[in-house]
Every structure is written in C-alpha cells, then in structure tokens.
Amino acid sequence: MFSSQSSAAADTIKARTYDVFLSFRGKDTRDGFVSHLYKDLCRKNIETFIDDEELRKGDEISGALLKAIQASRVSVSVFSKDYASSKWYLAELVKIMDCNKWVVPVFYGVDPRDLRNQTGSFADAFAKHEENFKHESGKVKTWRSALTAAGKLSGWDSQVTRPDSTLVDKIVEDVVKKLNCGSSSANLKGLVGIERRMQEVLSLFQDGFPDFRMLGIWGMGGIGKTTLADAIYHHVSNGFQRCCFLANVREHEEQRELLKLRNEFLSTILEDENLYISTPTIGSGFLKDRLSKKKVLIVCDDVSKLSQIEFLFGGIDRIGPGSRVIVTTRNKQVLVQCGIDLIYDMKELDKDESVQLFCQCAFKSTNPTEYQLKLSKMALSVAKGNPLAIRLIGSSLYGKTKSYQESEVKKLNKVPKQDIQEVLKWSFDGLDCEEKEMFLDIACFFKGKHRDYVTRIMDACYDSAHSGIENLIDKSLISVSQNQIAMHDLLQQMGLNIVRDESPLKLEKRSRLWIPEDSYNVLSENNGTEMLRGIELDMSQLAKLELEPTAMMKMRKLRFLKFYHSYGRILLFNGLLSLPEELRYLYWEGYPLRSLPTKFDLGYLVELDMRKSHLEQLWEGKQDLVNLKVITLDFSLNLVRIPDLSRAPNLEKINLLWCSNLRDLPSSLQHLEKLTLECQLLWLLKIGDFPEIMDTMEWLYELDLSGTALKELPSSIGNLIGLMRLNMNNCKNLVCLPDSFYKLKSLRRFYLKGCSRLEIFPEILDTMKRLYELDLSGTALKELPSSIGNLIGLVHLSLDDCENLVRLPDSFYKLKSLERFYLKGCLRLEIFPEIIDTMKMLYELDLSGTTLKELPSSIGNLIGLNDLNMNSCKNLVFLPDNFYKLKSLERFYLKGCSRLEIFPEIMDTMKMLYELDLRGTALKELPSSIGNLIGLVHLSLDDCENLVFLPDNFYKLKSLERFYLKGCSRLEIFPESMDTMKMLYELDLRGTALKELPSSIGNLIGLVHLSLDDCENLVRLPDSFYKLKSLERFYFKGCSRLEIFPEILDTMKMLYELDLSGTALKELPSSIGNLIGLKDLNMNNCKNVVFLPDSFYKLKSLRRFYLKGCSRLEIFPEILDTMKRLYELDLSGTALKELPSSIGNLIGLKDLKINTVKTLFAFLTAFINSNLENLPTTIKQFPLHELILRNCKRLKSLPELPPSLECLDAHDCTSLEDVSSIKKFFKQPLFCQDKPYRSLVLNFSNCFKLGEKGVGNDIDAEDSTSLEEVSSIKKVFKRAVFCKSLGWLFTNCFQLDQKAASGPETPKLEMPFEHMVTLLKDYHQATPESKKRNIVKCVPGSEIPEWFDFKSLGSSMNIQLPSEWCSNNSRINFPSFVASAVVSFPDSPYTGGEFGITCECHLKSRNRDDRCFSCYSYFSFGSRLSDHVFLVYDGFKVREMVKSKASNNRIYIEATCNFYLEGLDSSQCEVKQCGVHRLFAN
C-alpha cells in the first residue's frame, strides 16, 4: 500500500519537507500496525514519509533517504523484534539520532531495556554483526550507541498501551503535540529582526549546558518580547523532555486564573492530566522530586510582578539539570527580584529592519521602490522602531492609493512623537463605524474568546460581522490563535481608553462597562442610559447588589449583558419589570427569579445562559425566537419544564446538565432541524423518571443519567439498540437493573460509579461482545454474577471501593479480553479466585487495600500481567512460590503490607520486573535468589524496620538504578559489591544502623546520589570513597559518630554537593581540594571541628560554605589564591578569633554571616587601623548584600560598609556605640529614584549603648543643628525613600529615647521622622507603578510625635476626612497614611521574640461603600523592653489602592484605624497611643 514511495520518488524528496519520517522494519510491521499508523497520520493531514525498501541500494544509506530524514521535523521509529538484524535500519537510526530532532520511539513487541542494553533478540542480532563486521568495530559501536540512546527516550510501548488502535491514537496525538511545539526556520518567515535577536539570546541561553538557567527578556510594550520568546521556544523545544509556554501571566492574575494556569503548567510538565494543587505553594516533596529530574523548558510571558512568579513556582526549589526558564516583562525590577542576572534588553528595530517590516505590511514587498522608501521614512519617524506600531501603520495603508497613503502619513506625523497610544489610535481612526464598534466590543468583552462564539454574537449586532472581523485581522488590530480572538495589550488599553473618554466622569454615559465597580455603581444607583451597549459584571469581589424592578428599563439599547460569579449576590426583592429588548447575549449566573420578565421580547436574542438559576420555567406560551441559537440552563435545580420552542428554527444547542427537577420536554424539539444529535442527547440528561421505550431507537448512542433520582431503568431499555454509552454515575437511589440489560448489544461503556444502593448486578443471559468498560466502583455489590464471563469483550472492569464485596465468581478467568481489573479498597474481599486458565490480556490488577491474606497458586496463569498493586493489604502474610512465573510483570507494589515477613524465592529469571516496592513491610531479609530479577531498576525497602540482612549477591542486580533503604533501623551491614554496578545511580541509606560502608563501594561506578543522613552509628567511610567518580550529591547530615573523613586520593569532578552537618568531624582532609567540582559544602553544627585544611582555597568551584554552629572552630585558613565563585559564607556561632589577612581573596563574596562570634576580637595586619573591638575598614571592598553581626557583644563601632549592602543585622551588639558610617548608604547612587529595586534594612535592636551621637551628625537633631545639616538630612531621606523597602530598627536603644534623658541635650528624633514623612508626601504622588516600598522605623519612646495630624489614646481612632482630600488627579484622589503606634510592654521580665503590628484602615465614601487596606510589619525583640514608637508605611498596599479601579471617582469622608498586636500577650502588652499622618495636602 506504500507503492507511491518508491525509488522514483527520490527526486521529489529534494523539493519537499515532511512532518514525519516513519521508520520501521518492513517485514515485521508493514502490513499491520504501521499501515494503520500511516493512515491515521495522513488522515490528520500530517505529511509523512514512509521509509521504503526501494530506496536502499548498496552498502550505504542513500542520499535521498538521508534528505528525507533531514527534511522531517519528527522521526517515528518502530522497533520490532527483528529490527536490529538489519544493518540498514541501524545505519538509518544513527542518522535519525544525529539529526537531533524529535524522535518518537515505538517499542512494538519488544522491551525498551533490550534496546538500551542490547539484550534478548537484539543480543543475537549484534552477535552476528560483531562477526560480520569484525574489521569495522567502530561501525557496530555506533549502532549500539544509537540503540542505547533510543532506548532511553520516552516512547510508546505496545505491551503497556493496548490495543493497537489505542496505541496508534496515542502516537498520533503525541506527534501532533510535538509538531505544534517544534519549529523550523520557516516559522520565522515574516518576523523581521527576530532571527538576529534570537541568536543573541541563545548566546546567553547556552542551550546544552548542564546547569539550570533563568533568562529575562525585558522591553517596552509592543517591542516583540512575546514573539521573540515564542521563536526561541519553538527553536529549542525539541532539546527538552517537556515544554510549557505560560502566556499572558499578568492577564491570568487579573482574571483570577493564576491557580488554573499553574495547574495547567504542572500537568503539562509532569504529564498528569488529573493533577490539581490548590495550596499557595507546591509543598509535595514527591512532585518536587519529579520536577527535579526533568529537563524542561518553561516560558512565563508578560509577568508584571514578582508575586506571580512566586505563586507559579512557589515551593519549587529545583528543576532538572539543563532546564531553562524564560521570563518576559516590561518591568526589569521583576527580573532583578527573581534573581535573574541573564537579562536581554529588547531594543527597537533598527532602520533597515523597520523599513523591511513596513514594506512587508504596507506593500507586501521585500524590494521597496524609491517611492516606498520615501513613504517608509515619513511613517517610521513616528513608530520609533516599535514593531506593533509599524505593523499597524503599514497594514492600514495596504491596498490604498498613493494619494491616500501620503495624506494619511502626513496626518500621522502630527501625532506626538513619544506617544505610542496615539499612533495606535491613528490606526483605529481609519476603521469604518461598524469596525470601530466591533473593535471596542472585543477590547471590552471578547478578548481571548472563541472566534465562533464572538462571530455568533457579532453577527446578530452588525450587518457585516464576518467581513469586519477579517478586516480587523488584516489591519493587525486583532489576530486569531488556535481559533481564539487575540489582541495586543496596548491595543486593548487603547480601546478601553476610547470608551473611558466617551464620558470621563459619568459612567452611565459610556457605551460599555466592564470594570466590576463601575458596572456595580451604575446598576445600584439605577443610572442606566440609552448610551450603554454592553455591561459585564464580575461579582466575586463585591458586596451583594440589590436591583430595582426598573433597573434595566432605561438601557433600551443594551445588546450585551453578562453577570457572573453572581449566584446569590444579585438580589431582586421586588422583581424585575423588563429586560432590554435589543439584547443579543444574556448571561446571568444565579438569576434569582422563577421566570424571565413577561415584558421581555426575545426577538433579537442569540444566546441565553442562565446557569445555576432559580428558574422554574423560562416563560409562558410561545415566543418568536428567530435568532436564538443556544440555551444553557445547567445546574438550574428548580427548573421543571422547557417552554414551546417551535418558533426557534435556528436553535442549535440546549444544555440542561443537572436540571434534576426537569419533568417535561416539549414535543416541538423533534421538529428543530438545526438542533444537533449531540445536543438532542442533552435533553435527556437529568430527567427524574425515565419513560418506557415503546419502540426501538437506533439513533440514540449516548445517554447520561448521572446524578438522577432514578430507582430503576425500564425493562424496555433493551429497545435502545444503538446505545453505546450509558452513564448512571452517582444515582444514589438506584437499586435495580433490568434483566433485559444484556439486550443492549451495542453498549460499549457502562458507568455505575457511586450507585451506593445497588446490591445486585443482573445475570448476563447472552454474550455481550461490544461492552469493553464497566465501572461498578463505590456500589453496594456483594458479588458478581456467575454469568460475568458472557462479557467476552470486557477490557476494563472497576470495583474500587465496593466495601461490601466478599466474593468474585469462579468464572472470572473467562474474561479473556480483560486488560484492567481494579479492586482497590474492597475491604471485605479476603479470597481471590483460582485462575483456571491462562489470561493473556490482563496486564493491570489493583488489589490495594483489600483484606487478602494470600494470592492463589494459579496466579502464574496471568501471563500478560504487567502491574500488580497490593499496597496496604495489611492481612497479607504469604506470596505463592510460583510468583516467578509472572514473566510479564513489570511493577509490583507491596507498600504497607505490614504482616508480610517473607518474600518468595525467585526460581527463574524475571526479565521484565523493573519496579518492586516493599516499603513498610515486615521483611527481615531478601531471598538469595533476588539476583534473578535481572531487569529490576527500582527497589524500595524504606521503613522496613525488621530488615537485618541484604543478600551477598545483591551486586547481581545489574539493571538496578534506584535503591531505597531509608528508615531500615536494624540494618547494620551493607553487602560487599563483588562486581561493578554501572546502572545504580541513587542509593538512600538514611536512618539505617550501618556502622560503615564496604570497601567495595567503589564498584558502584554509576552512583550519582548517596545519602547517609541520620546514620547515627556510622563511624567510618572507606578509603575507596574517591573511586565514586560519578557521585554528585553526598549527604551525611546527623551522622553524630562520624569523626574522620577519608583522604580523597584522586580528583572527583562530579561531586558538587557535600553535606557533613551535625557530624563529629574534627577536621577535613588535606586532600579536600581534589573535590574540584564542589559547589555546596555544609558543615553546620559540626561542634568538634577545630581545623580547616590549608588547601581549602583549591575548591575553586565552591559557591556556598556553611559553618554555622562550629563552636570549636577558632582559626579560618589563609586563602592563598582568589576564589571567584564563593558568594555565601556562614561563620555564625563559631569560635573564630580572627579572619585571615587573605580574606580579600574571596572576591565574589556577597553574604557573610558572623553573628554570635562572641570572641571575635582581632584581624591581622592587612586590616589597617583596626583594633580589638572593630571590623576592618577594608570590609567596604566586599560586594556583600547581607552582613549579620548578631550577638557580637564586644563590637563597638562600624566602619564604612560596602555600598552593595542591603541588610545589616546588629541585634544584641550590646557594646555598639558608633554607627555613624551608615549615613553613607544614602549617598550612594544605588538609592536614587531611577534604580528603585534596592532594599535597606538596618537592625540595631538591643544595642543598649547606641545613642543619638552614635547615629551620626547628619541624623543629629539637637538645637544646634544647622540649616546645612537639616538640608543634608532631607537629602538622606529623599534617597532612602526610593528604596524597595526601608527598615530602621532601634529597639531597646534606650539612649535614643526622646524622654529618657534630661537637660539641654535631650535627643529629639522627631526631625528624622518628620523628614521621612515629608518626603513620603512627594513619593505618594509618584506614578502608581513605583509605589512598591515598605518603610518601617522603631525607636524607644512613649509618645506619638507632635506633628502627626491625628492622635488618640488606645488602639483605635475615628477620623473625619477633610473635603480637600479629593483631587482631580485620579492617582491620588484617595487618602493614604503613615501610621504610628506606641506599644507598652510589661514591667515583668519579658523573654523576647517576634511580634507584628497591623494597622487596619476602613474607609467610607459618599457612595456608602467601604474600602479596607492594612499595613503590617513584624519586629524581633530581646528582653528588657521599654515603651517603643513604631512608624509603618506599606507602599505595596498603597500601590494596590492606587491601581484599584474602585478608588477612582470616590470621595472618602471617614476613616477608622485599628491597631493590632500579634505574637504578644495582649493582657500584658498593649497599644497605648496611635496616630496617623496624611501624606499630602492641597
């Protein structure tokens, strides 16, 4: 059937590209499986090249065949039993693998492991090749490598995915996904400038490097960030295991769909369609472990703030090696906050590129004429290289006369040069009236909606909807992606602005309302007008809305009305008189009345959606419904009947899901010719009583009765002779099925899940060939009928959670077609029947959670069984001796079988079993014949607390890759590995009783991950440890008796993480420098360590070194050479007396922690002018971000600190007197307004000796302060206020208490407070996007500063807001505050800790609606507290208030502020005073 692909086709190959290259061993699969696969690929219009025998001549692969491979985007290689016997196919495979494109392996009747290891039939074939090509060993080696690589790819196994028809469907689906994801250079056609930019990004991207990388693409709107990310995504995607493009992240958050987006992302990456996580972070260790092993490509497009990334990736601390994440954003700060240092600055198109794109859009030309170049120059002076603007301008001129083009370009040049919105508006102005209206409809209501849906609504509103949409596409104002209407953000914003400008102050005079608060206000005040054409109202975040009966009467021209998330939230206490007669679309979720208004004329209505309504009926009598196409009444639980629809000739669809009280359907439905068959099925979905079927019905093939109150089906059900699918899930009242059930000869799927009163399944009195899926899970069945064997075509049988099931019929073995049998949770099932005859097809059997004590001895008759699940079979005590006869078994799960003490001997080899889970069993040992599991890849014995012995022949498990023994607390000896084990890469021995590892551990030559955490008896590591050349991660945390780490006698390049925390090590070996790839070294809480080797500096790859709590470590070694990569060093809690003079060689150090170094008193001579109590002045040279000095009791002053510092924590530095150097922070350019991403947190809590003088002259506010000094203070705060966050904590600095001293030199901290707040006033009026600062200040004190506008005793206050607090500036016409509180602490000793202060502000407006926002900060205190004054300002909350559309056009008249303490006993600690200071005044 493939004759068309003969050698004569070789010439045509040169000129063609293919989607798929289909490779197979002809005689094995040509006339069967491959023919069906080829046919289905062609049916999907996938251009497929068939690998044909006639193209094979001579000894080498032909040029024609090679071209076909290279010209194909995906290769599907079908590996069959005799595949490797042909040198041709092996050579072809080498070429396929070399091309590095998508390869989809299909393992047809062969085990993937036979490919990887060249075993089985592949071993025989290669034995012959070795003989035939003894003089060309390199060629055979290349073939082996290609097979091994192909065998490791994720593919399709015919022994897992059955039958062949399903396998073909899955492969075609996989190919389609890859083709949708993959790309070729043709995909860049028309994308001007993208290829150059893509190459620039890829140079940063460094695809192929093994480490994980994140890349940011930053630029203005319309510049092409998404286009570039998309091009890169498709260009490199076939180098990753899974890929995911998260489009429109910002928009998803605005629509409250980030959770949905995250679940789609995880489902795609983990290939789990049912995955759902509702928590803020991804906490599952199992999920994170799966993610850490996958090489993935993820694009996060249009990210506007850090919180979006934190939500999408929250809790994910590691993604697989080689993974790449691309983030596109308009805000560079987002990338900085994410820690992304690879940032591509997306520039505008250059002059040549701009001309090329313009001519492409305006003239469809790549070779512009002189006139075209001249016109380009005129037009492009406005576009400024922005691709979106260029495309819009060019598209608007296409096909027009020269005079028109010149006139329009002249008009365009009057647009302000820098205003991109005005350029876009020019494009809008060129539309005709209908096109403008359609554009605005899409911008306000239909962006992202399905094109057919949009066209359906538009068609009823406009005369030329189809052509209008096409014109909008042609003019680049909208686009269509996957049949959804797409519109660029800037274009949408332009459309929204146009509608706003129709009436800036009076909402009701606009044509469209889409902002929830705006729609709410107009409706609540009954202000609708004839101007309104469309209203959308999302009630999810609003108070309940009570509508007047006349609420809709003034909006006579309204065409589009959508209320959603409105169930129970829109009230019609007095009914509704009418709805607008021109409505085309009415969507009202939770409509509260029993029927629609009687005065409502539905003549124009196209779609009526009243899901979750209280409707009992729609209307009385007949209505003219000539335009009505769709009715949706899903979940309208009170609906009793549907009206006469005979006058709805165009009705296409009725949805009545879960209308459980519907009792009647109109006879007129049968005359509606446009109503599709699929929709006719929906009529019957939720009828309460099912009628007798008086005659045969051939056309009804699907019947859904799930969730109905049916008690039984009629005996005439057999008349549904065409019925293929019958769904009765969750029919809780169903007690009986008719005896005539067997007459449903066409039935294929029958679902009865959750029919909890169904106790008896009827006898099957005749064979039913076609029924292949039967779901009885959750029923009350006690047994199955003996005639179950008559279901001769049954493939899938589920009895999960049938808690009354006690018996399975002896005839069970007659189900010869059965492939999957599920009995999970059948708590009373104690006996599994004997299998009297072989069952070839059954490959999955789930017995987990049953009360089985043993399996029958005839279990070996399940010769096709792949998966056997017996997890949590707590009564299981015995496995049959002939278990080894399950030759096809691949996965065997026995987790939690807590009474299983003996695993049977394996009397013969079992090649297929690759996963064995014995966690939590009572096994004391494994059988000596365990080596017969020659294909075992994964063996888990975690928490086998009785296990004391592993067999000596453990090393025979040559295929073993993962071996888990965590928590085997009685296992004292690990066996010698008498031979190399290449495949084992993960060994988990955590929590075992091992005292040592065997000297032969070096034979585990493929070991990558070795964990010995919490092996408290471990005293020795073997000298051969260094032989583990593949080892990457080695964990010893909590091995409290391990005193010596062995010498590393040779270099270990791969080891990058070593955790020795909590061990009893006294020193590291001098050969530690041989760990040349080490990145992370953790020695926290090694309380015996006293010495670090001089060779420490040789760890050139080291990035993080943790020595926290090494309380006996007194000397840090000299760093004899530069260490560029070490950026984090934690020395907190050590006994260091000095740092070496060579500390400056740590040139990459960013985070240095030395808190609680109580004896730190000296630095060597390199630190000039240092003394016993001071840090060295050279510390300013370090690029530190964080300096932790907590509990340095002898530290008296701070030198000039590094300008990069963001956090200084000097808590409990009780001798600290002078910190005047901190003033220099604010003189750094890093704190100026144009770089607002820096933070500064200064914590001087419990610095008891720190006085006002010690803070520095610039922050000294005595009476003698000069004007120059005051000016300096203002400059300090002006710079500081533009930090991302600013925290100054002077808790327990008693000498700073403004009332603690007396005399003429009484300190006054009011001035610094006042200057800070003064500058906040200016800051508050900045653009909303920059309001992202948190500012916190704390000093001792007992009174609110005098200059605060409002003060009150106690913890709450009520403020009448002045009328001048309303401004014409929409950014600031709401009040915002700096809050202050005095907190009193108990006189009795206070133990210290953390607590938080919350200021919650409730605002009331003239509209009588409330708004609320709050500021929160937490503080850490030691003991000995006095009263303290706190100043708190949360710019994040301010920003949200500014951005909130609800704040516009509000005049707030009253504010109530409440202060709360968290974490303290309120009976002892209280807010004594509170105050509020306004941020601006007119």
Q: pLDDT tens digits for 1446-1475? A: 444 556 778 888 888 876 555 567 888 888
The secondary structure element, H or E, covering residue 74 is strand 72-79
User: From start to end of 836-985, where are the E strands?
Assistant: 844-846, 867-869, 891-893, 915-917, 938-940, 962-964
| Rounded distance between C-alpha atoms, residue 866 and residue 164, angstroms | 17
Average pLDDT over residues 725-737: 91
CB distance 1427 to 1385 below 8 Å = yes
Q: Is the pLDDT of residue 580 over 70?
A: yes
Q: Is the pLDDT of residue 108 over 90?
A: no
Q: What's the pLDDT at 1430?
A: 80
Cα–Cα distances (Å) from 1467 to 442, 1076, 1342, 1461, in that order, read: 58, 58, 19, 11
Q: Is the pLDDT of residue 958 over 60?
A: yes
| Rounded distance between C-alpha atoms, residue 410 and residue 1283, angstroms | 45
| Range name among 133-142, 683-692, 869-878, 1277-1286 with the lowest pLDDT average | 1277-1286
| Rounded distance between C-alpha atoms, residue 912 and residue 907, angstroms | 15
Q: Is the pLDDT of residue 954 over 70?
A: yes
Q: What is the mean pLDDT of the chain?
A: 79
pLDDT-derived band at 1235, boundaries 50, 70, 90: very low
Question: What are the structure tokens assigned to 1212, written together?
Answer: 């409990």
Angle among Cα 1164, 1165, 1168 to the nearest 5 degrees reads: 115
Is-catalytic flag, 1268? no
Q: Is the pLDDT of residue 253 over 80?
A: yes
Q: What's the pLDDT at 1167?
A: 29
pLDDT-derived band at 411, boundaries 50, 70, 90: confident
Q: Is the pLDDT of residue 1255 over 60?
A: no
> Which distant-in-sequence residues (6+ apart) come within 8 Å of 559 by Cβ?
461, 533, 534, 580, 582, 583, 584, 585, 604
Q: Is the pLDDT of residue 1392 over 80?
A: no
Cα-only R_g, the chain: 38
| Rounded distance between C-alpha atoms, residue 740 and residue 720, angstroms | 11
pLDDT-derived band at 1269, boundaries 50, 70, 90: very low
1193, amino acid identity? K
Nearest of 656, 623, 653 to residue 641 by alpha carbon: 656
| Rounded distance between C-alpha atoms, residue 1043 and residue 357, angstroms | 70
Q: What's the pLDDT at 764?
A: 93
Q: What is the DSSP letter of 446?
A: I
| Range name among 917-926, 1084-1093, 1370-1379 with the lowest pLDDT average | 1370-1379
CB distance 101 to 31 below 8 Å = no
Residue 327 in 3-state DSSP? strand
Q: Is the pLDDT of residue 919 over 90?
A: yes
pLDDT-derived band at 112, boundaries 50, 70, 90: confident
Q: What's the pLDDT at 1442?
A: 45
Q: Is the pLDDT of residue 674 over 70?
A: no
Q: Report the percentage of the chain scoring pLDDT > 70.
A: 78
| pLDDT: which is higher, 1244 or 1119 | 1119
Q: What's the pLDDT at 56?
A: 45
pLDDT-derived band at 6, boundaries 50, 70, 90: very low
Helix ranges (DSSP H) in 370-419: 370-383, 387-397, 402-412
Average pLDDT over residues 1-14: 38
Average pLDDT over residues 1092-1107: 92
Q: What's the pLDDT at 12?
A: 38
| Range name among 19-23, 172-176, 1394-1398 with the lowest pLDDT average | 1394-1398
- Dmax over CA atoms of the chain, in Å, equals 109
Average pLDDT over residues 616-643: 88
Q: Identify which of 233-242, 313-322, 1026-1035, 1393-1402 has the greatest average pLDDT.
A: 1026-1035
CB distance 338 to 214 below 8 Å = yes
| Rounded distance between C-alpha atoms, residue 802 and residue 518, angstroms | 53
The secondary structure element, H or E, covering residue 494 is helix 489-502
| Rounded distance between C-alpha atoms, residue 511 and residue 535, angstroms | 9
Q: What's the pLDDT at 830?
A: 94
Q: What's the pLDDT at 445?
A: 94
pLDDT-derived band at 1169, boundaries 50, 70, 90: very low
Q: What's the pLDDT at 273?
A: 65
| Rounded distance between C-alpha atoms, residue 1310 and residue 1255, angstroms | 14
Q: Identify which of 130-139, 195-204, 882-891, 1384-1393 has the greatest average pLDDT.
A: 882-891
The residues pairing with 1153 across neighbouring beta strands, listed in sequence order, are: 1130, 1188
Q: Is the pLDDT of residue 1099 over 80?
A: yes
Question: What are the structure tokens assigned to 234, written together?
Answer: 């498709």
Average pLDDT over residues 11-24: 65
Q: What is the DSSP letter of 547?
A: P
Average pLDDT over residues 973-1000: 93
- Catalytic residue, chosen from 60, 92, 251, 470, is 92
Nearest of 940, 854, 955, 838 to residue 891 by alpha carbon: 940
Q: What's the pLDDT at 1427?
A: 78
Q: What's the pLDDT at 1375?
A: 52
pLDDT-derived band at 510, boundaries 50, 70, 90: very high
Q: What is the dihedral of CA 820, 825, 828, 832, to 10 degrees?
A: 30
Other Cβ atoms closer than 10 A to 98: 12
Question: What are the structure tokens assigned to 38, written together?
Answer: 């080829």
pLDDT-derived band at 29, boundaries 50, 70, 90: low
Q: Is the pLDDT of residue 1333 over 70?
A: no
8, amino acid identity? A
Length of the chain equals 1482
Q: Is the pLDDT of residue 32 over 80?
A: no
Cα–Cα distances (Å) from 803 to 796, 821, 850, in that order, read: 19, 16, 9
Q: Is the pLDDT of residue 677 over 50?
A: no
Burial class from Cβ neighbours inside 10 Å (0-12, 13-18, 19+) for residue 1119 reads: buried
Q: Identify which of 292-301, 1094-1103, 1387-1396 has the greatest average pLDDT.
A: 1094-1103
Q: What's the pLDDT at 243?
A: 84
Q: Is the pLDDT of residue 834 over 90?
A: yes
Q: Report the percentage of the chain scoring pLDDT > 90.
A: 30
| Rounded distance between C-alpha atoms, residue 1420 and residue 1415, angstroms | 17
Average pLDDT over residues 509-524: 93
> Sign (positive/negative) of CA torsion 1096, 1097, 1103, 1109?
positive
CB distance 1176 to 1170 below 8 Å = yes
Average pLDDT over residues 475-488: 84
Digit-coded pLDDT (tens) for 38-76: 888 887 778 888 765 444 444 455 666 777 787 787 888
| pLDDT: which is higher, 1453 or 919 | 919
Other Cβ atoms closer than 10 A to 435: 20
CB distance 456 to 485 below 8 Å = no
Question: What are the structure tokens assigned to 1262, written together?
Answer: 């005595």
| Rounded distance between C-alpha atoms, residue 234 and residue 181, angstroms | 6
User: From start to end of 645-783, where are the E strands?
Assistant: 653-655, 702-704, 725-727, 749-751, 773-775
| pLDDT: which is higher, 1238 or 875 | 875
Q: Identify which of 138-147, 746-755, 1400-1409 has the greatest average pLDDT.
A: 746-755
Q: Is the pLDDT of residue 389 over 70?
A: yes
